[in-house]
Chains A and B, each alone.
Chain A
Amino acid sequence: MKILVIVPAFNEQDCIDQVILDLKKTNSDWDVLIVNDGSKDNTSQVAKSTNKAKVIDLVSNLGIGGAVQTGFKYAERNGYDIALQFDGDGQHISAEIPKLIAPIISKEVDMVIGSRFAITHSGWKSSVPRRMGIFVFTILNRLLIRQRITDSTSGFRAYNKETIKFLSAHYPMDYPEPEAIILLGKNGFKMKEISADMKARETGTSSINYRRAIYYMIKVVLAILMTSIRPKIRKGVKK
């Protein structure tokens, strides 16, 4: 079974090598693909110097959605059975991956989300605006696609072959995570959340502040509502 770990990276020179080494240490059979989203620092060189990862350098910055979709396109063309999305900032824990891909191997679901809230645990603390946003998404998920997804913004995900094919053609660009859930649910893909531990950020700063959070919420909620009223793209599947 061919497995590809897609790691979108933007200015992550301080920890990208550690992320790669960790992934390879957990399972050396996994292919690690770093999608360097036009970083201004040495992310690409640092990643290449490990000799353990494939590194695609985007010729210009596309944002997280465009970077992750590049990974899906690569995975589809090279016949991968499972693709994982894994953050480049050291927040995700590679030892949690086997748990994440188990429901896909057993063909139980099409996509699995590593969630910080599926059960309560002490590893991860969240800010107030983020919690509020996540609460809104949870309600929207339940209303629009009738699936219980509590951690819509988590970027720790696993996808099967059919989902890879679908998303390589249709993946949202700007703030893709919550929108992708609605898109997949609407098109009849089965999703599941699994509790996963995450670390606090090792480097860099969180992109959340109040003004940005409000813009983010309005934009994403609009995108979600639009996605939900668009016709289904994938035919012949029951919703």
Chain B
Amino acid sequence: MIDLFLNFRFQFISVFGSIFAILFVVELIRRRKIKEEYSLLWLFLGFSFLAMSLSQTLINKLADMIGIAYSPAALLLFLILGCFAILIHYSAVITKITIKNKDLVQELSILKYEFEEFKTKLEAKEKGEE
């Protein structure tokens, strides 16, 4: 009986936890705080976690498949793997942004130099005409 209650409590927390996470991400997208592109992994993780929390059969099957005796542990494993995937995805995003930022700094600095050079030449020319 106590076992059943504990199991249920865990399920309760994980179902409401994942619903809350999904709604939170959706709200952030709605307010344009996260781009859709970067929220996909979160939503995928949220919905998968929800499905596994709701369906005992699904989580038991999954735990059986990878040889985990205590099925809620499989849920945690899945959560951790999902977080890893998201973190790696972020490293890729940061790299992309770093490269773009470098290109922008270079472009802006060269243009600034050319603009100053052009201005100096123009001023010299104007002075010569006066």
Residue B113, interface by CB 8 Å: yes
Interface residues of A (CB under 8 A from B): 54-60, 62, 66, 69-70, 73-74, 77, 173
Residues in A with CB closer than 8 Å to B57 are none
- Taking CB atoms, residues of chain A closer than 8 Å to B106 are 58, 62, 66, 69-70, 73
- Our pick among A54, A62, A74, A77 for the contact of B105 (Cβ within 8 Å) is A62
Contacts known (A62-B102, A66-B102); A57 close to B113, Cβ less than 8 A: yes
What are 9 A-B pairs at a CB distance below 8 A? Answer: A54-B113, A56-B112, A58-B106, A66-B106, A70-B109, A73-B106, A74-B110, A77-B110, A173-B98
Interface of A is mostly: mixed
Q: Shortest Cβ distance from A177 into chain B, in angstroms?
A: 17
A191 to chain B, nearest CB (A): 25
Known: A56-B112, A58-B109, A70-B110. 7 other contacts (CB 8 A): A57-B113, A60-B105, A62-B102, A62-B105, A62-B106, A70-B106, A74-B113
- Do residues A56 and B110 form an inter-chain contact, with CB atoms below 8 A? yes
CB contacts (< 8 Å) of B13 on chain A: these are: none
In the assembled complex, the Cα of A214 lies from the Cα of B108 at a distance in Å of: 35
A66 in contact with B110 (CB, 8 Å):
no
Select one of B98, B112, B117 contacting A59, CB under 8 A.
B112
Contact B109 A57 (CB under 8 A): yes
> B112 touching A57 by the CB < 8 A rule?
yes
CB distance from A4 to the nearest CB of B (A): 13
Which residues between 88 and 113 of chain B lie within 8 Å of chain A, taking CB atoms?
98, 102, 105-110, 112-113
CA distance A220 to B79 in the complex (A): 34
Distance, CA A57 to CA B108, complexed state (A):
10
Which residues of B line the A interface, CB within 8 A?
98, 102, 105-110, 112-113, 117
Chain B residues, Cβ within 8 Å of A66? 102, 105-106
Of all A-B residue pairs in the complex, the 8 with the closest CB atoms, nearest first, are A56-B113, A70-B106, A58-B109, A66-B102, A56-B109, A59-B109, A59-B108, A59-B105
In the complex, chain B residues whose CB is within 8 Å of the CB of A77:
110
Residue of A nearest to B107 (CB): A73
CA distance A211 to B117 in the complex (A): 43
Give chain B residues whose Cβ lies under 8 Å from the Cβ of A54.
Answer: 113, 117
Q: How far is the CA of A55 from the CA of B113 in the complex (A)?
A: 7
- With a cutoff of 8 Å between Cβ atoms, the chain B residues found around residue A74 in the complex are 110, 113
Q: Smallest distance from the beta carbon of A210 to chain B beta carbons, Å?
A: 28
Cα distance A77–B102 in the bound complex, in angstroms: 18
User: How far is A54 from B114 in the complex, measured between Cα atoms in Å?
Assistant: 10
Expressed in whole angstroms, the Cα–Cα distance for A66 and B109 within the complex equals 12
Residue of B nearest to A67 (CB): B106
CB distance from B124 to the nearest CB of A (A): 13
Bound state CA distance, A59 and B116, in angstroms?
14
**Residues of the A chain whose Cβ atoms lie less than 8 Å from the Cβ of B117:** 54
How far, in angstroms, from A71 to B106 measured CA to CA in the complex? 9
A77 vs B109: C-alpha distance when bound (angstroms): 14
Select from chain A the residue with minimum beta-carbon distance to B104. Answer: A59
From A60, A62, A73, A173, B110 is in contact (CB under 8 Å) with A73
Which residues of B have CB within 8 Å of A173? 98, 102
Task: Please give, as numbers and ranges, the residues of chain A lying within 8 Å of B109 by CB-CB distance.
Answer: 56-59, 70
